[in-house]
Structure 1
Amino acid sequence: MKRVQYDRYGGPERMYIGKANLPQLGAKQIRVTVSAAAINPFDWKLRKGVMKLFRSRKFPKGMGTDFAGVIAAVGRDVKGLFVGDEVFGSVDFNESGAFAEEIILDSHLVAKKPARLSFEEAACLPIPVMTAWAAVFDKAKMSKGSHLFIHGCTGAVGASAVQLALARGIKVSGSCGTASLQSAKAAGVDPVFTYGDKQLQAQNGKFDAVFDTLGTLSVGAGLSMLNRKGIFVDINPTPGRMVRGMLARRYKLAFATMGIKHLSAIADLASEGVLRPTVGLVVPFTDALSAITAAETGARVPGKVVLAL
């Protein structure tokens, strides 16, 4: 079985396509033949060692988290999933390895793929939508009539948050780059600002929650935009921010893993057309290394980059 992997933490030069043996299938696990895998910034952050204190020391390690494919085998205690089912999901970050021909993972980490979505589209859902769900609903506690500001409202996580919030009757304002203004307005963000807009800097005390998807909004600036009971949600942890997130009442950190329990609900919303993932570029698995490197070093496409297997 071939996969993208690395023998030590570091930059893009550490990646290579190599052979790996799958572990024995556990009682509550499934084996999936991967059809598509989406590239997320989280993937190269893991390879760089951002979470190395929380991961095993065993190498080589596989890359990739989000995928869609077909179940090839099920463990004896797996319920509700069968060989031949089309599924999508996200591999546990300690295992990783979705950029591969096949993977083995716990069955609770997948949901059945919505029929209306291609494998490439379904692979784009997990981390962005799970992160957005955790931030908007689990941490910020947004509900109908709330006013949410999303910093970076047209990226994968930001766009997912916009779709989830609007579906719940939440008013959404946000910021994005100049080139994305029209697409943000078309998505329902109102008002929408460019990052350097002075009017954005004057939005003091207006919002029930501020969600920073980029990590470029200072905590002070985010807190200043909130009303008295508002919550600032961040998804870009540093050691200092993690400590602050544990101690502060109005500053919270959200992670994709917090949203894994909502994967079936996410599948339902995608089936209903509420969630509309955007595939920007499909690249064959043989070109995985160059595609990951390009995304990591700043190449931009209007949507997610997906590896096709």
Structure 2
Amino acid sequence: MKAIVCKKYGSPDVLELSEVEKPIPKSNQVLVKIKATSINYGNLVLLKGEPFLARIAFGILKPKYVIPGGDIAGLVEAVGKDVKHFQPGDEVFGDLSSCGWGGFAEYVTVPENALAFKPVNLSFEEAAAVPMAGVTALQAIRNKGKIQSGQKVLINGASGGVGTFAVQIAKAFGAEVTGVCSTRNIDILQSIGADHTIDYKLKDLKELKESYDLIIAVNGYQSISTYKRALNPNGNYVMVGGSGAQLTEAMLFGPLISLTGNKKMCSMLQRANQKDLIFLKELIEEDKIKPIIDRCYKLSEVPEAFRYFEQGHAQGKVIITV
């Protein structure tokens, strides 16, 4: 089969389209013929080996996982004898980040608990946009943010992969949502239900007069003190992504602020979770959320797709069709 192979850390130029052995499912595994996959921030970490601490999980000197790719959508081609919930022909989607990656390929074998049935109202390309970004947004808003209906939510970086899901998930929970983005993305946020928008090119968040019950920081950089000022008493701040400085501040000062006051400030890492994937599937089939896709590339164009993605200006998700 064809697959994108990464044998050393570096730029997108180290990615090669190669012929590799088609995998055979073990007794508890599902063989999936991949129709589409997508790019997430975790794929950049796996490609570059940065930040360096990530190499503890991904391989110190070279990538432990030779075929990158976390999100997949495709068809079940075969199942092991102990697989209970899937059979050949099923349309599925899933997140491979906790079971060896391998999504940038024509086939992959995965444990069945990494998969869920694909939403019936999505194409394979749309379904491949959902797992990592959608679950990240869900876990940030529901699990860490403790969202309640009627709350006011601010999402900084609202037009990217995680951000567009965060806006819609917060709305599905009954929140009043303000999205922060650049001028060219205002229309996207309005189309997915944002109640208010802030163009960060025209308004500095340091000048915010509004306050919020929950703030989700997905992209860019704002000081943790800026976010703290914008929180209501008993409000929650969750750092999902952004600059290295934003991550450092959330990890170092977030716990201290949380211990010394009534505002809670934390960072989070997404954890692949089948129940959360099924929860998102149900929201999608109820037309409460939908993936936003910026561009689609072929498997042979993965290096080009990475070069575009790492610029940080994607409107929604970047998809790879297989």
Q: Same fold (TM over 0.5)?
A: yes
Partner of 1:10: 10
> 50-59 vs 230-239, which deviates more?
50-59
Instruction: Choose which of 259, 264, 267 in structure 1 pairs with 2:278.
Output: 264
Instruction: Choose which of 283, 296, 299 in structure 1 pairs with 2:297.
Output: 283
Three-state SS of the structure 2 residue aligned to 1:62 is: coil
Seen in structure 2, the aligned counterparts of structure 1 residues 189 and 18 have a Cα distance that, compared at 3 Å, is same
Seen in structure 2, the aligned counterparts of structure 1 residues 73 and 247 have a Cα distance that, compared at 3 Å, is farther
Unpaired runs of 5+ residues, structure 1, are: none
Report deviation, 1:24. Answer: 4.8
**How many residues were matched structurally?**
308
Report deviation, 1:56. Answer: 4.7
Deviation string 1:206-234 (CA, Å, 9 cap, x unpaired) is 11111001042222211111012111101
Partner of 2:33: 33
Whether 2:95 is the aligned partner of 1:82: answer no
Instruction: Choose which of 148, 170, 173 in structure 2 pairs with 1:165.
Output: 170
Find the aligned partners of 1:60 and 1:207 in 2 and give their Cα distance. 41
> 18-27 vs 79-88, which deviates more?
18-27
Tell me the percent identity: 30
Instruction: Choose which of 39, 52, 57 in structure 2 pairs with 1:54.
Output: 57
> 167-176 vs 258-267, which deviates more?
258-267
Whether 2:142 is the aligned partner of 1:137: answer yes
Instruction: Choose which of 97, 100, 125 in structure 2 pairs with 1:92.
Output: 97
The answer to whether the Cα contact below 8 Å between 1:283 and 1:307 also exists between their aligned partners in 2 is yes
Find the aligned partners of 1:19 and 1:115 in 2 and give their Cα distance. 32
Deviation string 1:131-176 (CA, Å, 9 cap, x unpaired) is 1001100001001111111001222211101111111111111211
Three-state SS of the structure 2 residue aligned to 1:33 is: strand
Partner of 2:261: none
Partner of 1:201: 206
Whether 2:104 is the aligned partner of 1:113: answer no
Report deviation, 1:268. Answer: 1.1
Seen in structure 2, the aligned counterparts of structure 1 residues 108 and 173 have a Cα distance that, compared at 3 Å, is same
Report deviation, 1:295. Answer: 2.2
Partner of 1:305: 318
State the one-letter code of the partner of 1:307. Answer: I
Find the aligned partners of 1:94 and 1:107 in 2 and give their Cα distance. 11
The TM-score normalised by the length of structure 2 is 0.87
Whether 2:257 is the aligned partner of 1:252: answer no
Instruction: Choose which of 191, 195, 208 in structure 1 pairs with 2:196.
Output: 191
Report deviation, 1:63. Answer: 1.4
Find the aligned partners of 2:5 and 2:276 in 1 and give their Cα distance. 29
User: What root-mean-square deviation, in Å, do the aligned CA atoms of Structure 1 and Structure 2 show?
Assistant: 2.3
Seen in structure 2, the aligned counterparts of structure 1 residues 247 and 76 have a Cα distance that, compared at 3 Å, is farther
The answer to whether the Cα contact below 8 Å between 1:61 and 1:95 also exists between their aligned partners in 2 is no
Three-state SS of the structure 2 residue aligned to 1:183 is: helix
The answer to whether the Cα contact below 8 Å between 2:99 and 2:111 also exists between their aligned partners in 1 is no
Report deviation, 1:19. Answer: 2.9
Three-state SS of the structure 2 residue aligned to 1:105 is: strand
The answer to whether the Cα contact below 8 Å between 1:35 and 1:69 also exists between their aligned partners in 2 is yes
Unpaired runs of 5+ residues, structure 2, are: 259-263
The TM-score normalised by the length of structure 1 is 0.91
Report deviation, 1:245. Answer: 5.4
Seen in structure 2, the aligned counterparts of structure 1 residues 5 and 304 have a Cα distance that, compared at 3 Å, is same
Find the aligned partners of 1:127 and 1:13 in 2 and give their Cα distance. 24
